[in-house]
Amino acid sequence: MKINNLNNSGINPYKRQLNKIDQAAKANVQKADKLEISSAAKEMQETSRLTKERQAKVEALKVNVENGTYKPDPQKIAKGLINFYRN
């Protein structure tokens, strides 16, 4: 009786599986999300008039909170919350 090696590729199937796993791991490492902000957007962000006004308002609020003189109006806060959730 003669037995022939049928479909023998000469590579251990376990090694073949390990090679596939290694290739998949390398492919996952190479992929990464990337975000780039254009120079025009950066310039708009820096020169925005609103940014400067907001920064001044934030600084004034910080000083008031640190001094203990900041007194928020609960009625205005409640109205703002209601308007926000109604719209």
Per-residue confidence (pLDDT) for residue 61, from 0 to 100: 94
The answer to whether residue 29 sits within a structural domain is no
The answer to whether residue 23 sits within a structural domain is no
Burial class of residue 36 (count of CB atoms within 10 Å of its CB; 0-12, 13-18, 19+)? exposed
pTM: 0.37
Residue 7 tokens read as 């479909």
pLDDT, mean of residues 32-45: 84
The answer to whether residue 10 sits within a structural domain is no
Alpha-carbon gap, residue 51 to 45, rounded angstroms: 8
Per-residue confidence (pLDDT) for residue 29, from 0 to 100: 61
Residue 73 is part of which domain span?
48-86
The answer to whether residue 27 sits within a structural domain is no
The answer to whether residue 26 sits within a structural domain is no
Per-residue confidence (pLDDT) for residue 78, from 0 to 100: 96
User: Residue 7 has what DSSP assignment?
Assistant: T
The answer to whether residue 81 sits within a structural domain is yes
Alpha-carbon gap, residue 16 to 30, rounded angstroms: 22
Alpha-carbon gap, residue 13 to 20, rounded angstroms: 11
Q: Which of 79, 80, 61 lies closest to 70 in space, CA to CA?
A: 61
The answer to whether residue 54 sits within a structural domain is yes
pLDDT at 27 over 80: no
Per-residue confidence (pLDDT) for residue 13, from 0 to 100: 67
Q: Could you read off the pLDDT of 58-87 as tens digits, one per residue?
A: 999 999 999 999 999 999 999 999 999 997
Structural domain tally of the chain? Answer: 1
The answer to whether residue 18 sits within a structural domain is no
